[in-house]
Structure 1
């Protein structure tokens, strides 16, 4: 989308033909509609560098420093570049992760490689899928491309001075938040080889998931012989060694310096979590000495086109909406990382995926779209989760650098497995083992990892507050995040129930269905707020309720009863038991007003995961589907395909999956004004907004499609599609075709009528088996008037029993 040499790197290309004509053409290069900088600023934290294919392990891009600002993905729009490293996360919060195996170009000889070698940029960075370009104030141009496990650096230095590359093993993305989540370099090694290549490793620890030491190995080659090669080590900016020693090691900062007498230089680097020999094999297998930047860029575009972008094709939409769609798809599939063959923890024939950041963010809508667009990789992903349980004892709720952590609420891998199971994902998955992994979460208390933010129980994996859950059927205030944990444990147990039911485990089925209703034990009907009674509140061991204002969540953070939202939101979170929620709240009118109040009271925040499903619960009331559509359209207005196009952290692609769903990011500014200050000189609400990756990416794409998934169930709530025509390839020759007539996305978006597979449809929901399992068709008639078209059966509420609507 942004060709090399373009001066419009952060601007969208103007198209001379209509999008409909372009997308109808054969062999479409969908990457031309992708802005790699979408969501990279304004809190989106997306990685704009080179991810050569979906789930690639190598993510090559710049590392930027600007005062005490955390660069979560390495990238900041302003500030100095201090390296170009091989590994990054995308769209995450909490604290930066990775940013290791770095190179920094410098004009002239380097007397002290431990000094600050960072440079400002002479122009805005440029990028497209498979390509990234930075021009430094020193006159050095850096162009990047990559493969799954290797990277290519192409340097152009100003003539007349030596050209120097500093390889810094001790380089790692820092965090300045003071929360104890910063990464550390602990040790490394670096050596030259007689054939001219160099290799080594760095060992690092900590980060948001509090991981112990992990090691990344590297192997690098230049396209010409340097006039000087040296290693260095030292502490801070003080050198203790800077000479031609063949190898060095230790806890001091460490690296190598290579000086050349030519201005054009190419560097190739392979990486591995196994060994430096494996890193060298990865390099030679993926980037040979004659490999060009253009060929790697073409290969990356082909991979993204064939594996992801071509899976959704649209006609008739605006250029901006089409760019938003495809830019969001890129953000969705940069992580998790496929590290099959790169797992240092155990030997297994199963696939291995890492960089799950986090299921708390992604299980609501990202994984459901992952399943639809990449079913083969999705099956591998499920197998990987089960294999992690086989060897590490628990499935992850989050995982990076080959280590589980951190759990914010429940064991939401259970929801992911349940969602896959009820939608018929089988293949090579051992579902007996899958159920055992889920049952481990449900029955085994994980050892306490003594997390300073929540020292009373484990945040590494599993359900730390399980002792209370098993003893009382609720969670007492002796455990942090008691209410939010309780509602998540309920949905987790519902997931276990779903798989037990499918496997014919009758006793387990009854047990976990009953436990999935335990959220009800936190419901206090006597609590009132702004005309409504009944909310989920904390509870003591003696059964009494803790006094709690539903409009307050304290700090809404690790040490509070509610995590990242308040009782108004969490009291609408039992999405497997909606009809019980309705009955507790009152009649249909009261239920609708309860949802409306989230907007009237400025509570709803589209960038906060617990709110994700709430705007669409209107579909559980006859005649209210139009309200869902209105909320959906309001949310959609918060997105665009520019660098500030996400209403919060990408949250590992969850935000993008939702605008394939967002509203009221302004709440963030309101909360900043009114919330109390924490101990770090910033208000608490701001702290948790900046800490967590938000699921906005996936919300965006579901919004465009016009459906919303109820995780762990086969139900999809009907919204209103954005495009006149949208087709989703489902594999094996199957597809879902969605059309709209008679309206438009912005002013005439209410559903007037709907046909599903050619038959008139009067329900505000469809099942997986209606339109996805074997393909299908949905034909909408839209208009400007609110029409009560959904007069049929309401969506199922499988845990509600005799409280069904």
Structure 2
């Protein structure tokens, strides 16, 4: 059963007693519970097309144009389709990236391939994992499937007219925001051969990470010989050459036109960042001439089932919640892209992951779940970050088209490595190199890349405001995003402390623990707002504080002191030093009220990553865990499994990961082994941890929507009175968590408070 873009929920098949049976990995196709259109509209920017496996390099889908609206993933629910391209990202913002190696079906002969060939749709697009379908108003039906490095287009044309495919090398997703982040096509080549196949490359630049020229190669073959094939070049919509089969190269728009007599046609395309020869090898090894579309769909479903979806099994719960869980898992693992063997920049035996958008978004909760559900790929990802440092000089905070950029706050690869280290990721990771990569962020100022949005320091990689950080222990207003950067630099340095401690680097351990407390240097106890005093504010070089309304962040963007949130939120973001935050704010009662005010004053935004952890900090006050549960349930209500089901941009799955933790009933404190206890959604939920290990979570006595307060908890069969668990308690070797829920709050968490490792008083 295919989901439709216009649906707000996914019709599911093969239910028994409305999902009151266990969804067993060995018996159930979990893909049937996935709506690929979840979060694809309403600002979610999710890619609904075909990603044949988690982290697949090829992502085949439609490119839609609708006025001056940016199509970040290529898809828009309304507007005209102007091509179907091989490369997309999912859940990104800023400006679109990729949308290259495109082809467009046209009924009849084409006189000018540079003209507007776009078509509206006769009906809403349809899709499921491994399959996508578009019905165009010209009568052409396009069905898509893909592999990791290749795609299969299956066309059904109206009978009685020639069937034409236009391959446009110069096709690229545009941006209309006027920020200077739009992509450009800068040149390419196209060769059409006597056997009917074609190959070539396109070179492009810019996009959200301001990358210089990068090249993607392609190799295409059809299921039948064309009756005619031509190449073309031109500028804008003006055709300058229109030749029989030949090689064409240059900076003009270019491509090929292939015309066929048959109404049914298949088109196979391989891609590579290395060469057109490698693109042909990818095509021939992954999609042969006799490969059927259905076989690729089946293979894609198997990949997603085995690698991701089967890692969480649930029993009970509503149809909608089950759809929401599995649809969120899909969105979480679309990117980064595994480009191992496809790195044109250097030769290495290490894995290589690209399309990282962005660790600023994902380090808070996405990467922690990534490790749990896909530990093998996660170790590869960590190794890739370190290898990028070896060859590029810095780890990325974001990366795409083989180029670092852009950094929004701190060097948050440091947090990701620290989180992996303290949770036992070892394998083939060279942690001495890992720590050296982190130290590069902490000690070396990156060259300024002269970003027009923040020209005073680098936004490409590293910590652009590091000179102030090292000189003053805080960041002055001479740097953009000074306060939010300072809070993040503190958490980054805490990450270095964690790894230095584990590696026995005692001097570094002391240095970075002390530096992790530097956020305190931005704390102005005199700054006040709505009966609260003390907020992180800008500070001048002479030590004086800038007068700052804590309810304002200016534009909350690149040129302001705070990025994408305000002083209220950033004043709660030193999650490694919570007890100091509590002391500065005025104790437990004021701390609770400070968190409450995020809602009372309409500050909290579930679509903003700096707010992600704030709702669960109640767990650092005895007797207040029930407040965390209330906030968690409220956040869960902002999601659904439909096309508008995300409360903000997916941000490469960060938004989905945030929701998945609500469903599980835990929340990670990044860079630490602590997980705060929330309240699970399902009567039974099992996380398969690999090697025969699992975490089994049960709830009794309540329900997800009206009786969700924790009454009691047992961990591994023992009564538990703490509002947190550690990695060692439930994840290192698996475990059990058995909740009793009820309709009213109960003060059950009377034991030790969660650790606050950077605080002098670590018991609250």
Same-fold call, TM cutoff 0.5: yes
1:502, distance to aligned residue in structure 2 (A)? 0.2
CA deviation vs aligned residue, 1:521-549 (integer Å, no higher than 9, x gap): 00000111000000000000000000100
CA deviation vs aligned residue, 1:346-387 (integer Å, no higher than 9, x gap): 000000000000000000000000000000000000000000
Query: How many angstroms apart in 2 are the aligned matches of 1:289 and 1:602?
Result: 58
Q: Secondary structure of the equivalent of 2:278?
A: helix
1:740 match: 699
1:804, distance to aligned residue in structure 2 (A)? 3.9
Change (3 A) 1:226 1:22: farther
1:13, distance to aligned residue in structure 2 (A)? 5.9
CA deviation vs aligned residue, 1:195-247 (integer Å, no higher than 9, x gap): 32100000000001000000000000001000110000100000000111511
1:801, distance to aligned residue in structure 2 (A)? 1.8
Contact 1:328/1:698 (8 A) holds in 2: no
1:147, distance to aligned residue in structure 2 (A)? 0.1
Contact 1:606/1:612 (8 A) holds in 2: yes
Contact 2:666/2:675 (8 A) holds in 1: yes
Query: How many angstroms apart in 2 are the aligned matches of 1:389 and 1:492?
Result: 16
1:636, distance to aligned residue in structure 2 (A)? 0.2
Contact 1:34/1:323 (8 A) holds in 2: yes
Contact 1:2/1:8 (8 A) holds in 2: no
Contact 2:529/2:550 (8 A) holds in 1: yes
1:194, distance to aligned residue in structure 2 (A)? 3.1
Query: How many angstroms apart in 2 are the aligned matches of 1:726 and 1:16?
Result: 18
Change (3 A) 1:618 1:75: same
Query: How many angstroms apart in 1 are the aligned matches of 2:626 and 2:591?
Result: 15
Contact 2:36/2:327 (8 A) holds in 1: yes
1:619, distance to aligned residue in structure 2 (A)? 0.1
Change (3 A) 1:419 1:353: same
* Structure 1 stretch displaced more, 557-566 or 16-25: 16-25
1:628-667 correspondence to structure 2 within 5 Å: 628-656=628-656
2:671 match: 712
1:23, distance to aligned residue in structure 2 (A)? 1.6
Change (3 A) 1:636 1:14: farther
Query: How many angstroms apart in 2 are the aligned matches of 1:25 and 1:403?
Result: 38
Contact 1:190/1:198 (8 A) holds in 2: yes
Query: How many angstroms apart in 1 are the aligned matches of 2:6 and 2:524?
Result: 60
Change (3 A) 1:804 1:478: farther
Q: Secondary structure of the equivalent of 1:360?
A: helix
1:18, distance to aligned residue in structure 2 (A)? 2.2
Change (3 A) 1:758 1:788: same
Contact 2:364/2:669 (8 A) holds in 1: yes
1:118, distance to aligned residue in structure 2 (A)? 0.1
CA deviation vs aligned residue, 1:541-579 (integer Å, no higher than 9, x gap): 000000100000000000000001110000000000000
1:12, distance to aligned residue in structure 2 (A)? 5.8
Change (3 A) 1:10 1:110: farther
Contact 2:3/2:37 (8 A) holds in 1: no
- Unaligned 5+ residue runs, structure 2? none
Contact 1:10/1:126 (8 A) holds in 2: no
Q: Secondary structure of the equivalent of 2:215?
A: strand
Q: After the TM superposition, which segments of 4 or more aligned residues of structure 1 sit over 3 Å from their partners?
A: 3-17
Contact 2:706/2:743 (8 A) holds in 1: yes
1:802, distance to aligned residue in structure 2 (A)? 3.0
CA deviation vs aligned residue, 1:638-664 (integer Å, no higher than 9, x gap): 0010011001101000010xxxxxxxx
Q: Secondary structure of the equivalent of 1:364?
A: coil
Contact 1:190/1:247 (8 A) holds in 2: yes
* Structure 1 stretch displaced more, 441-450 or 243-252: 243-252
Change (3 A) 1:9 1:741: closer
Contact 1:52/1:148 (8 A) holds in 2: yes
Change (3 A) 1:10 1:764: closer
CA deviation vs aligned residue, 1:702-731 (integer Å, no higher than 9, x gap): 000000000000000000000000000001
1:19, distance to aligned residue in structure 2 (A)? 1.1
Query: How many angstroms apart in 2 are the aligned matches of 1:472 and 1:343?
Result: 40
Change (3 A) 1:8 1:462: closer
* Structure 1 stretch displaced more, 619-628 or 18-27: 18-27
Of 778, 781, 802, the residue aligned with 2:737 is 778
Query: How many angstroms apart in 1 are the aligned matches of 2:432 and 2:247?
Result: 50
Change (3 A) 1:7 1:633: closer
1:786, distance to aligned residue in structure 2 (A)? 0.6
Query: How many angstroms apart in 1 are the aligned matches of 2:763 and 2:411?
Result: 27
1:15, distance to aligned residue in structure 2 (A)? 4.2
Contact 1:580/1:803 (8 A) holds in 2: no
Q: Secondary structure of the equivalent of 2:617?
A: helix
Q: Secondary structure of the equivalent of 2:4?
A: coil
Contact 1:9/1:126 (8 A) holds in 2: no
What number of residue pairs does the alignment pair up?
Answer: 763
Contact 2:755/2:762 (8 A) holds in 1: no
1:779, distance to aligned residue in structure 2 (A)? 0.1
Contact 1:60/1:144 (8 A) holds in 2: yes
1:22, distance to aligned residue in structure 2 (A)? 6.1
Contact 2:474/2:486 (8 A) holds in 1: yes
Contact 1:369/1:698 (8 A) holds in 2: no
Q: Secondary structure of the equivalent of 1:349?
A: coil
Query: How many angstroms apart in 1 are the aligned matches of 2:205 and 2:7?
Result: 39
Query: How many angstroms apart in 2 are the aligned matches of 1:26 and 1:713?
Result: 34
Query: How many angstroms apart in 2 are the aligned matches of 1:527 and 1:179?
Result: 34
Contact 1:724/1:740 (8 A) holds in 2: yes
Q: Secondary structure of the equivalent of 2:384?
A: helix
RMSD: 1.4
Q: Secondary structure of the equivalent of 1:528?
A: strand
Change (3 A) 1:135 1:9: farther
CA deviation vs aligned residue, 1:104-125 (integer Å, no higher than 9, x gap): 0000000000000000000000
* Structure 1 stretch displaced more, 185-194 or 7-16: 7-16
Query: How many angstroms apart in 2 are the aligned matches of 1:214 and 1:420?
Result: 31
Q: Secondary structure of the equivalent of 1:258?
A: strand
CA deviation vs aligned residue, 1:377-422 (integer Å, no higher than 9, x gap): 0000000000000000000000000000000000000000000000
* Structure 1 stretch displaced more, 244-253 or 643-652: 244-253
Change (3 A) 1:360 1:627: same
Q: Secondary structure of the equivalent of 1:127?
A: strand
